[in-house]
């Protein structure tokens, strides 16, 4: 499907960055649409941080170019930095300032009046649950500092936002709060570039994803497209009290079209059937309804593992994302 030039927030054109013999980024081309959340996933050293540092004009490419919001990263640096927000993985705050002073400082640097900066700061600190804190930010917990860092990157309402591990180190409640805020940003048509090791986070938030390894894009698509094309099948492992019940289920599932394979094994005196099938939870319910009609009461144990983005990366590279 063709995409109009006006709907593109970032266009990367055969960009490269070499450090002597190391090809950190080696010919990447991508188009990222306005208002979408695009995740760049890869292991440490894959090139994603170098790529983002070029897009945010910190590094100059060895070859190639990219347009960010219509401006070349080679010739339009001043225009680009006015429109982008960056929340780095390493927390960057002024520890001797209070929360509102940190955020107001960034807002004023981006051209807001002091009155406007105060109002924007108050609102965003309320959204992140850190309004009214009067102590120095160096005394904040790591999770609170990370939320403050995110608030600083958003207060001037950037058109494009770069997030590097935005929920690293957060407790589940704070993590969910940040996820909800990111979804709200998507509804405001802010383009978001997300880098994360959290596959659940990427799957939940992303419109599209690019996997990068050894400086090259190895796969690109929506989470569903990637899992269907490169992922493993869903797996249901069922242990039965009696071998006879296993055989009944095995015969029931043979003609179910989305069942890919099944294997029998006897482990620790258990009669176990491992069923591989395509589709998500909807097909799991169909499988249980059609395959276990007469034997569900005789099931001793059942385990379900759903196809994931971790499977995609493992199947593409032979290694896990955190290796």
User: pLDDT per residue over 43-57, tens digit each?
Assistant: 888 899 999 999 999
Rounded CA-CA distance 28/13 in Å is: 7
pTM: 0.80
Rounded CA-CA distance 261/278 in Å is: 10
- Cα 18 to Cα 47, 60, 88, 218: the distances in Å are 10, 10, 22, 19
pLDDT at 191: 96
**How many Cβ atoms sit within 10 Å of the Cβ of residue 12?**
23
CATH of region 5-229: 3.40.50.300
Distance of CA 247 to the CA centre of its chain: 41
The stretch 204-233 carries a mean pLDDT of 93
Strands 216-221 and 208-213: antiparallel
Q: Which of 29-38, 102-111, 306-315 has the lowest mean pLDDT?
A: 306-315
Rounded CA-CA distance 288/282 in Å is: 10
Rounded CA-CA distance 104/29 in Å is: 37
Per-residue pLDDT band for 216 (boundaries 50, 70, 90) equals very high
pLDDT at 2: 53
pLDDT at 3: 57
**Residue entry with tokens 């029998």:** 264
Per-residue pLDDT band for 5 (boundaries 50, 70, 90) equals low
The proportion of the chain whose per-residue pLDDT surpasses 70, expressed as a percent, equals 94
Q: Which of 59-68, 170-179, 250-259 has the lowest mean pLDDT?
A: 170-179
The stretch 188-205 carries a mean pLDDT of 91
pLDDT at 69: 93
Residue extent(s) of CATH 3.30.70.260 domains in the chain = 233-306
pLDDT digits (tens, 9 = 90+) for 57-97: 999 999 999 999 999 999 999 999 989 999 988 888 889 99
The stretch 227-247 carries a mean pLDDT of 87
pLDDT top residue among 189 and 24:
24
Rounded CA-CA distance 262/318 in Å is: 23
Say whether pLDDT at 166 is over 60. Answer: yes
The stretch 163-172 carries a mean pLDDT of 86
With beta carbons less than 8 A apart as the criterion, state whether 14 and 29 touch: yes
pLDDT digits (tens, 9 = 90+) for 126-146: 988 888 888 899 898 888 888
Say whether pLDDT at 269 is over 60. Answer: no
Backbone angles phi, psi at 178, to 5 degrees: -65, -40
Residue extent(s) of CATH 3.40.50.300 domains in the chain = 5-229
pLDDT at 81: 92
Rounded CA-CA distance 311/51 in Å is: 24
pLDDT at 192: 96
The proportion of the chain whose per-residue pLDDT surpasses 90, expressed as a percent, equals 46
233-306 placed in CATH 1.10.645.10: no
Say whether pLDDT at 116 is over 90. Answer: yes
pLDDT at 16: 97
The stretch 254-272 carries a mean pLDDT of 79
Average pLDDT, the chain: 89
pLDDT top residue among 168 and 267:
168
């Amino acid at each position: 499907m063709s995409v109009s030039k006006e709907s593109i927030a970032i266009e990367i054109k055969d960009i490269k960055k070499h450090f002597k013999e190391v090809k950190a980024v080696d010919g990447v081309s991508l188009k990222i649409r306005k208002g979408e959340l695009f995740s760049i996933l890869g292991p440490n050293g894959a090139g994603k941080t170098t790529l983002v540092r070029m897009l945010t004009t910190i590094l100059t490419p060895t070859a190639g170019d990219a347009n960010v919001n219509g401006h070349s990263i080679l010739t339009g640096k001043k225009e680009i930095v006015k429109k982008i927000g960056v929340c780095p993985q390493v927390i960057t705050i002024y520890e001797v300032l209070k929360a509102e002073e940190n955020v107001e400082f960034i807002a004023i640097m981006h051209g807001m009046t002091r009155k406007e900066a105060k109002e924007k700061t108050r609102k965003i600190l309320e959204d992140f649950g850190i309004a009214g804190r009067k102590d120095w930010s160096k005394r904040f917990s790591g999770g609170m500092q990370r939320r403050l860092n995110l608030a600083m990157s958003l207060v001037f309402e950037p058109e494009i936002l770069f997030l590097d591990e935005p929920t690293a180190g957060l407790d589940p409640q704070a993590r969910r709060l940040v996820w909800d805020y990111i979804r709200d940003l998507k509804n405001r048509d802010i383009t978001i570039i997300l880098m994360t090791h959290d596959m659940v986070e990427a799957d939940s938030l992303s419109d599209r994803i690019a996997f990068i390894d050894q400086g090259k894009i190895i796969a690109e698509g929506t989470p569903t497209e990637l899992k269907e094309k490169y992922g493993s099948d869903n797996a249901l492992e069922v242990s039965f009290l009696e071998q006879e019940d296993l055989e009944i289920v095995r015969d029931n599932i043979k003609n179910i079209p989305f069942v890919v394979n099944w294997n029998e094994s006897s482990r620790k005196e258990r009669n176990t059937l491992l069923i591989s099938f395509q589709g998500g939870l909807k097909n799991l319910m169909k499988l249980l309804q059609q395959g276990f009609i007469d034997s569900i009461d005789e099931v001793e144990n059942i385990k379900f593992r759903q196809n994931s983005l971790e499977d995609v990366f493992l199947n593409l590279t032979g290694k896990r994302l955190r290796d």
